[in-house]
Amino acid sequence: MTMLANITLAWTMSDATSGVSECQVAIDSEPWILVGLNTSHEFAGLSEGNHTAWLNVTDRAGWFALDNVTFMVDLTPPYAWNSMYSIGETYVWVSWTALDNTSGVADVQVQLDDDSWISMGLEKNNETFSGLEDGNHAVRIRAVDRAGNVGPASTLNFLIDTAPPEIAIVWPGDGQVIDSSSITVTWMMDDALSYVSRAEISLDGGSFMSAGTDESMTLEGLEDGDHTIRLRVIDAMGNTAEETVSFVVEAEAGTSGLVIAAIAVIVIAAVLVVAYVALRRKKTPDDGQKKT
């Protein structure tokens, strides 16, 4: 079995009585080729598949002896591919399928990142790589056939990400007093390895409300008093990060203050008007008074 299209047939010969006269060789059903007393001959340009090489040795008395050898030419490399995989927190499990239609698969090899290739043989069709660090990784799988052809590598690229996203609530600040029953919560979020999948907001221990990938959410109809907001951010690998902020709403107190201020302005304006009128009357003489 060979992965070469050029094959060299080699032999030994002897004749103790009259001696060897000549040798002939042939490939498959092709005509005989006279090679004299040479002990090797190259057959070039053989096609893929099974072949038979023939040797005919004749002695000086005319006796001859035949021998032959059958072999396979395999010019096509095998192929292996990842058929299933599972990625865990710090590990990856891969399985594979290998195929060669000519000489057959002899071995399957796997490689993690830039490590050395590992021979798996034919009895095993899966492997687990554990203890992986955060970051991008690659598992490569290739097959070797019985003729020695090495097939192309099939690559599985994947990411290990055990780190939570980075988040920070921008507004409101912790302990802040807000004079409105409607607020827009804003935050910043990022993920260094994968990406942010979604953000969620919970008000006062209620159910989480999805904000998608937005970095703000408006909450309306808040009653006066203390409130707590929980921000939860989930990345593509399922890692979560949370941050909490507490604040106070005094919307009614703020409205009452405005009303009181407005009334005070009106009262002050009325007092000024009354004082002005009184002052004008004091400066104007009575109509019935005459000078002497």
| Stronger pLDDT, 169 or 273, i.e. the higher one | 169
The 10s digit of each residue's pLDDT in 15-49 is 999 999 999 999 999 999 999 999 999 999 999 99
Determine how β-strand 20-27 pairs with β-strand 49-59: antiparallel
Predicted confidence (pLDDT) at residue 241 exceeds the cutoff of 50: yes
User: pTM for this one?
Assistant: 0.70
Identify the pLDDT of residue 269.
66
The first and second tokens of residue 210, run together, are: 């999805």
Least confident of 62-71, 107-116, 140-149, 267-276: 267-276
The 10s digit of each residue's pLDDT in 56-77 is 999 999 999 999 999 999 999 9
Percent of the chain topping pLDDT 70 = 87
Predicted confidence (pLDDT) at residue 138 exceeds the cutoff of 80: yes
Identify the pLDDT of residue 289.
46
User: What mean pLDDT is predicted for residues 174-202?
Assistant: 95
One-character DSSP codes across 170-235: EESPTTEEES-S-EEEEEEEE-SSS-EEEEEEEETT---EEEET-SEEEE--PPSEEEEEEEEEEE
Predicted confidence (pLDDT) at residue 257 exceeds the cutoff of 70: no
Name all domains of the chain by residue range, CATH numbers in brackets.
7-73 (2.60.40.10), 79-160 (2.60.40.10), 166-252 (2.60.40.10)
Identify the pLDDT of residue 268.
75
The 10s digit of each residue's pLDDT in 78-106 is 999 999 999 999 999 999 999 999 999 99
| Stronger pLDDT, 106 or 5, i.e. the higher one | 106
The 10s digit of each residue's pLDDT in 140-162 is 999 999 999 999 999 999 999 99
Predicted confidence (pLDDT) at residue 181 exceeds the cutoff of 70: yes
Identify the pLDDT of residue 5.
86
Please check whether residue 179 is in contact with residue 207, taking contact to mean a CB–CB distance below 8 angstroms: no
Please check whether residue 203 is in contact with residue 244, taking contact to mean a CB–CB distance below 8 angstroms: no
Query: Which residue is associated with the tokens 């970095």?
Result: 215
Percent of the chain topping pLDDT 90 = 84
List C-alpha distances in Å: 54 to 11, 24, 65, 67: 11, 8, 11, 6
Mean pLDDT over each residue of the chain, to the nearest integer:
90
